[in-house]
Amino acid sequence: MSDTSSTTTDKDTQAQLKSLELTQRDEKSAAGRFVYWASVIFAIAHIYFNTLGTLSELWVAAIHFGGFAMICALMVPAVKATSLQGQRLSLVLDLLLGAAAIICALYLIGFEDALYDRGVKFVATDWLFSVAAIFIALEMARRTTGWFIPCMIITALTYVFWWGPYIDGIFGFAGLSLETLLYRSYFSSEGMFGPIARISWTYVFMFILFGAFLVKSGAGDFIIELSRCAAGRFVGGPGFVAVLGSGLMGSVSGSSVANTVSTGVITIPLMRKAGFPARFSAGVEAAASTGGQLMPPVMGAGAFIMASYTQIPYVDIIAIAALPALLYFLSVGFYVRVEAKRSHAHAVELDARPLGQVFKEGWHYLLPLVVLVALLIYGFTPTYAAGISILSVIASSWLSKHPMGVRDVLDALAQGSKNMATTAMLLVAVGLVVNVVAMTGIGNTFSLMVAEWSGGSLLIMMALVAIASLVLGMGLPVTASYIVLATLSAPALYGLIAESQLVSLIAAGNLPEQAKMIFMLVDPEQFALLSAPMSEANAMALVEKVPADFKSQLLEQALDPALLAATLLSAHMIIFWLSQDSNVTPPVCLTAFAAAAIAKTPPMATGFTAWKIAKGLYIVPLLFAYTNFIGGSATEVMTIFIFAVFGLYAFVGFMEGYLEGRLNIALRLLSGACAVAMLWPHGNLIIDFAGLAVFIGVFIYSRKVAD
């Protein structure tokens, strides 16, 4: 690696970066050493739970909570004490809190049967430990993410037993007893130890651990050097290195902020040296690192949660997610290309070795990813595949000059647990909110409200979801934001997309006979019309006459099961993509702030630049909603993808007023029209090719102007 690749930020930048991170104890202290060994033991325990273990899922979730609460409490002190006495007092309090979490987990395991023997009647200790467990979950969420999540959870819990009955209208709720709420939150497999906790201790933990092993083995350095070799020699190469490196790193790290900090200290100085503006350099890094959350196989834990919600196999989800993620990175790359030409960015000598030499020395770092994909395709569960892939990381490292030894393996185990600690506490806490949504039916109410506000317009509904994701993202990390939004709005979004497909089917006169019988019950006079084509307006009017109770049955009988599954996945993909916008959208955009700290640019201005560059976050979900980009045939998907690539490039030209050279106002508008022609879901290839031909003409003209 060159001297440039080891460039680090100065003291001021390091201080700014530190302000974005959690206040953590010194790893060399006694508490730090305890956390290290506790993390190693806990990682081994989770590997056992996910491969050979036979404990009940509720018990494992409780152990997961207790252990990570202890680790998190010691990693992130309740207060930042300056005096030695204050630090000791803080450590004692944190130890007591962590011990209390472990005792709460052990109480659940030891006294679960006794509770059922009493007919689910609480005694004093049941009240004590259930309240204590919820309090600890709230406190851990406060330490790691601030006050937003605890306040949201308290609001949700009190709604169930306190103020819900006083609400009139659609959000009114009859209420449940506090005892019932505590039982469902703590003792049952529905609350904090429910489905979200299960996702946490299975998929999420195993893949975060897999990523930690990859980084420790040296794969991270290989990815950066490979990116430098592959993209560094182009004009504006450092920008492409940021895009490619962040995409590859994000595919295994699953954290946009960590991605920014790890790759940004290399790519941002390189971009500035090449002649890119500082703010643009930071914006590119933030936008590219956000894309790492969209890139398989990890997808910031979103793929696992999506698989749990939709019951669609994980391997199918990551296969479908690959092309959309590529579209996003290409859209960021187009901004880099345009800015490189406008800023006259010059090639930078990256002191990179030949690509063949780098690949020859580091090809073995790719073996664990090959093993992972092969195992998933072969039919192994994701947790088993991740476990075996971790072993393959260790084995493949022995093909390098620096094989992983016992200490490296222990370090990777510890780092994986420490990386997981805050995420585990977050997911356990969010499980309380998801449980309230399920108990009260407020999710269906919210979905009906959003459907009513949208007035049947899919575009308006997507805009409402985008606004909601931005508001939630101000206080929630993107994973939690996706969980909450998917719980609340996915049914409405799925229903509206499915209804639009149903309308098209009726308008074409292709409605199956079993589905026609439902219309026979609803409106016998219109039954005869269903055998012939009609206008979409008339078809929509017929669908609107179907009562809500019958619509789900109608959709199941009218639409192919594979199409319904693709529609459900489209709804979740839309929400997942839109939930990423808080990473790069002011006023709260930690990924952009982290990049700004490295580039020493104004954080808010950098946020707006990153928001502009990350416009693919809003355009690609439109393809999910209005085209067969998900669920279509291979020909359909590739056709949509190819035209979307050029459509996004044309859109960047319209946004920037520049391609290879400056565009006047007429050419700028023409580039925008070309983008609409290729991205709009009209289904007419003639319009697509016309838009492509005109855009190529604009591109060639801008090149001649630049010359």
- Cα-trace Rg, the chain: 27
Q: Which residue has the tokens 């859109």?
A: 651
Please answer whether residues 249 and 291 qualify as being in contact, where contact means their C-beta atoms are separated by less than 8 angstroms.
no
Residue-level pLDDT at 516: 77
The mean predicted confidence, pLDDT, of the chain is: 85
Closest CA to 633 of 641, 643, 645, 644: 641
The stretch 347-360 carries a mean pLDDT of 65
User: Same domain, yes or no, for 93 and 153?
Assistant: yes
- Is the pLDDT at 20 greater than 50? The verdict is no
Per-residue pLDDT tens digits for 545-594: 777 777 778 888 888 888 899 999 999 999 999 988 888 888 778 788 88
- Is the pLDDT at 19 greater than 60? The verdict is no
* Segments in 275-313 forming alpha helices (H): 278-291, 302-310
The stretch 5-16 carries a mean pLDDT of 39
CA 210 to chain centre: 17
- CA dist., res. 473 & res. 579, Å (int): 7
CA 342 to chain centre: 33
CA 449 to chain centre: 25
Tokens found for residue 416: 């994986």
The residue from 351, 381, 404 where one domain ends is 404
How many CB atoms are located within 10 Å of the residue 32 CB?
14
Structural domain boundaries, residue 498:
441-583
Please answer whether residues 679 and 655 qualify as being in contact, where contact means their C-beta atoms are separated by less than 8 angstroms.
no
User: Same domain, yes or no, for 117 and 201?
Assistant: no
User: Same domain, yes or no, for 333 and 225?
Assistant: yes
The reply to whether 93 falls in a domain is yes
User: Same domain, yes or no, for 254 and 382?
Assistant: yes
The reply to whether 245 falls in a domain is yes
Residue-level pLDDT at 102: 96
User: Same domain, yes or no, for 260 and 394?
Assistant: yes
The reply to whether 692 falls in a domain is no
- Is the pLDDT at 300 greater than 80? The verdict is no
User: Same domain, yes or no, for 168 and 292?
Assistant: no
Bridge partners for 658 per DSSP:
662
The residue from 169, 190, 211 where one domain ends is 190
The stretch 52-62 carries a mean pLDDT of 91
Which of the residue ranges 153-157, 595-599, 644-648, 703-707 would you say has the lowest mean pLDDT?
A: 703-707
The residue from 404, 427, 455 where one domain ends is 404
Please answer whether residues 18 and 80 qualify as being in contact, where contact means their C-beta atoms are separated by less than 8 angstroms.
no
Per-residue pLDDT tens digits for 449-460: 887 888 878 899
Please answer whether residues 491 and 438 qualify as being in contact, where contact means their C-beta atoms are separated by less than 8 angstroms.
no
Q: Which residue has the tokens 């006794």?
A: 114
User: Same domain, yes or no, for 263 and 307?
Assistant: yes
The stretch 56-61 carries a mean pLDDT of 94
State the amino acid at position 120 in one-letter form.
V
Residue-level pLDDT at 21: 42
Q: Give percent of the chain with pLDDT exceeding 70.
A: 91
Phi, psi of 658 (to 5 degrees): -160, 140
Per-residue pLDDT tens digits for 500-557: 888 888 888 788 877 777 777 766 776 677 777 888 888 888 888 777 777 778 888 8
Tokens found for residue 553: 């049955």
- CA dist., res. 238 & res. 235, Å (int): 8
The reply to whether 601 falls in a domain is no
Could you give the C-alpha distances from 318 to 9, 29, 200, 486, 571, in angstroms and in order? Answer: 35, 41, 18, 18, 15
Could you give the C-alpha distances from 446 to 130, 149, 205, 573, in angstroms and in order? Answer: 29, 19, 31, 19
The total number of residues written for the chain in this structure: 707
Going by the DSSP 8-state scheme, the letter that residue 658 receives in this structure is: B
Per-residue pLDDT tens digits for 117-172: 999 999 999 999 999 999 999 999 898 878 888 998 999 999 999 998 888 877 77
* Ranges assigned E (strand) in 350-436: none
The reply to whether 419 falls in a domain is no
If 0-12 CB within 10 Å is exposed, 13-18 middle and 19+ buried, where does residue 494 land? buried
- CA dist., res. 373 & res. 322, Å (int): 13
The reply to whether 590 falls in a domain is no
- CA dist., res. 100 & res. 431, Å (int): 20
Higher pLDDT, 3 or 661: 661
- CA dist., res. 256 & res. 51, Å (int): 29
* Ranges assigned E (strand) in 120-162: none
Q: Give percent of the chain with pLDDT exceeding 90.
A: 39
Q: Which range, 26-40, 440-454, 660-674, is most confident?
A: 660-674
Tally the domains of the chain: 3
Going by the DSSP 8-state scheme, the letter that residue 562 receives in this structure is: H
The reply to whether 1 falls in a domain is no
If 0-12 CB within 10 Å is exposed, 13-18 middle and 19+ buried, where does residue 30 land? exposed
Would you list the DSSP string of 484-529? HHHHHHHHHHHHHHHHHHHHHHHHTT---HHHHHHHHHH-GGGGGG
Please answer whether residues 390 and 205 qualify as being in contact, where contact means their C-beta atoms are separated by less than 8 angstroms.
no
User: Same domain, yes or no, for 186 and 208?
Assistant: no
Could you give the C-alpha distances from 489 to 189, 478, 568, 572, in angstroms and in order? Answer: 23, 16, 12, 9
- CA dist., res. 390 & res. 45, Å (int): 15
Going by the DSSP 8-state scheme, the letter that residue 661 receives in this structure is: S
Please answer whether residues 514 and 554 qualify as being in contact, where contact means their C-beta atoms are separated by less than 8 angstroms.
no
CA geometry: angle 350, 352, 355, nearest 5 deg: 135
User: Same domain, yes or no, for 241 and 349?
Assistant: yes
Higher pLDDT, 524 or 390: 390
- Is the pLDDT at 474 greater than 90? The verdict is no
Per-residue pLDDT tens digits for 205-263: 988 898 889 888 888 778 777 777 765 566 667 778 778 877 777 666 666 777 787 77
User: Same domain, yes or no, for 340 and 396?
Assistant: yes
Closest CA to 382 of 320, 314, 310, 317: 314
The stretch 373-388 carries a mean pLDDT of 84
The stretch 170-192 carries a mean pLDDT of 89
- CA dist., res. 43 & res. 417, Å (int): 6
Q: Which residue has the tokens 């016992």?
A: 406
**Helix crossing, 548-558 with 513-522: angle to 10°?**
160
User: Same domain, yes or no, for 244 and 364?
Assistant: yes
User: Same domain, yes or no, for 41 and 146?
Assistant: yes
Confidence of residue 116 (pLDDT cuts 50, 70, 90): very high
The reply to whether 15 falls in a domain is no
Could you give the C-alpha distances from 246 to 25, 208, 241, 275, 411, in angstroms and in order? Answer: 29, 17, 8, 20, 24
Per-residue pLDDT tens digits for 262-278: 778 778 888 888 788 99
Phi, psi of 662 (to 5 degrees): -70, 140
- CA dist., res. 506 & res. 536, Å (int): 8
Residue-level pLDDT at 67: 95
- CA dist., res. 298 & res. 306, Å (int): 12
